[in-house]
Amino acid sequence: MGSFKERLERIRTRMSLATEACGRDAGSVSLLAVSKFHPSEALREAMESGITHFAENYVQEGMSKSALLPNATFALIGPLQRNKAKPALQYFHELLTVDRPELASRLSRLAEELRVCREIWIQVDLWGEISKVGGCPPSSVQSIINALGGSSILSLKGFMAIPPPGMTSAFSELAYFRETWQQRLGVRIQLSMGMSDDLEEAIKAGSDQIRIGTALFGER
Ligand SMILES: *Cc1c(COP(=O)(O)O)cnc(C)c1O
Provide the residue-wise pLDDT of the chain in tens; the chain has 220 residues: 689 999 999 999 999 999 999 999 989 999 999 999 999 999 999 999 999 999 999 999 999 999 999 999 999 999 999 999 999 999 999 999 999 999 999 999 999 999 999 999 999 999 987 666 789 999 999 999 999 987 779 999 999 999 988 888 999 999 999 999 999 999 999 999 999 999 999 999 999 999 999 999 998 8
Distance 195 CA to ligand 1 centre (A): 6
**Other CB atoms within 10 Å distance of the CB of residue 128:** 10
Pocket test for ligand 1, best of 1, 7, 77, 174 (most atoms within 8 A of CB): 77
Percentage helix, strand, coil for the chain under 3-state DSSP, each rounded to 5 = 45, 20, 35
d(C-alpha 78, C-alpha 121), whole Å: 12
**Other CB atoms within 10 Å distance of the CB of residue 2:** 10
- Predicted pLDDT of residue 132: 66
Domains in the chain with CATH codes: 4-217 (3.20.20.10)
d(C-alpha 145, C-alpha 104), whole Å: 8
- The reply to whether ligand 1 has any atom less than 6 angstroms from the CB of 58 is no
- The reply to whether ligand 1 has any atom less than 6 angstroms from the CB of 126 is no
d(C-alpha 14, C-alpha 78), whole Å: 25
Which residue in 127, 134, 14 sits closest to 76, CA to CA? Answer: 134
Write down the pTM of the prediction.
0.96
- The reply to whether ligand 1 has any atom less than 6 angstroms from the CB of 160 is no
Distance 55 CA to ligand 1 centre (A): 9
Q: Which alpha helices (DSSP H) does the chain contain, by range? A: 4-21, 40-48, 59-68, 85-91, 101-114, 141-148, 170-185, 199-205, 214-217
Distance 192 CA to ligand 1 centre (A): 11
CB 208 within 8 A of CB 191: yes
- The reply to whether ligand 1 has any atom less than 6 angstroms from the CB of 199 is no
- The reply to whether ligand 1 has any atom less than 6 angstroms from the CB of 195 is yes
Distance 38 CA to ligand 1 centre (A): 13
Which residue in 104, 106, 33, 28 sits closest to 73, CA to CA? Answer: 33
Which region, left, alpha or beta, applies to residue 13 given φ > 0 means left and ψ of -120 to 50 means alpha?
Answer: alpha
Distance 77 CA to ligand 1 centre (A): 8
Amino acid at 173: E
Q: Which alpha helices (DSSP H) does 186-220 contain, by range? A: 199-205, 214-217
Q: How many residues does the chain have?
A: 220
